[in-house]
Amino acid sequence: MQYKIKGGVATLVLWIHLPGCFSKEEESLRDSKIALCNEIEKAKELIVTSSANALIGNQNLLEIIKRLLIERREVTEAVKALQPSILRQGRDMSLDHRDAWIYGILIGWDVALPEILKQHSWAGTEYEDRLKKHQAVIAALTN
């Protein structure tokens, strides 16, 4: 009687036999071929599973990036809408530290910055923090 085991890379034909029909070397070779075919099949399944998982992961990453881009666009539009209304205010935005902070981030103090820093006693780290935030706003608006 013959049984065929298909293994992708090789087809192995096994014979059901009476004990002693094959030498120990032949039986060992047959068993090695069967083990090799099984390992190849496991490797194929692992590759297919890994590829599918990677594809799903990439799709999820693309969705996250898409959402972030949409959110960035919405924030950029909101900041662009705020800037003209801040510039049209009839009051001095440098007087109150909260107004100065908002103005500095959304518009920027440029040459007046040293004076504003002194006026509100903003130290080096506060200055760097405000400058970084203002630069981030400008970068978002120009990209």
Cα separation, 3 vs 17, whole angstroms = 11
Give the whole-number percent of the chain exceeding pLDDT 70.
Answer: 83
Give the pLDDT confidence score for residue 95 in this predicted structure. Answer: 92
Give the pLDDT confidence score for residue 109 in this predicted structure. Answer: 82
Give the pLDDT confidence score for residue 33 in this predicted structure. Answer: 82
Residue-wise pLDDT tens digits, 17-63:
445 566 777 777 777 888 887 888 888 888 888 887 787 888 888 88
Within-domain flag for 41: no
Within-domain flag for 141: yes
Position 40, amino acid: I
Range of the domain at 129: 89-143
Q: Is the pLDDT of residue 9 over 60?
A: no
Within-domain flag for 76: no
Across-strand partners of 4?
A: 13
Within-domain flag for 106: yes
Count structural domains, the chain.
Answer: 1
Q: Is the pLDDT of residue 78 over 70?
A: yes
Within-domain flag for 72: no
The DSSP code sequence of 13-61 is EEE---TTSS-HHHHHHHHHHHHHHHHHHHHHHHHHHHHHHHHHHHHHH
Within-domain flag for 137: yes
Structure tokens, 40: 């190849």
Q: Alpha-carbon Rg of the chain, whole angstroms?
A: 35
Length of the chain in terms of residues written: 143
Give the pLDDT confidence score for residue 21 in this predicted structure. Answer: 63
Within-domain flag for 122: yes
Nearest 10 degrees: Cα torsion 117, 120, 126, 128: -20
Q: Which of 51-55, 86-90, 103-107, 118-122 has the lowest mean pLDDT?
A: 51-55
Within-domain flag for 134: yes
Q: Is the pLDDT of residue 4 over 60?
A: no
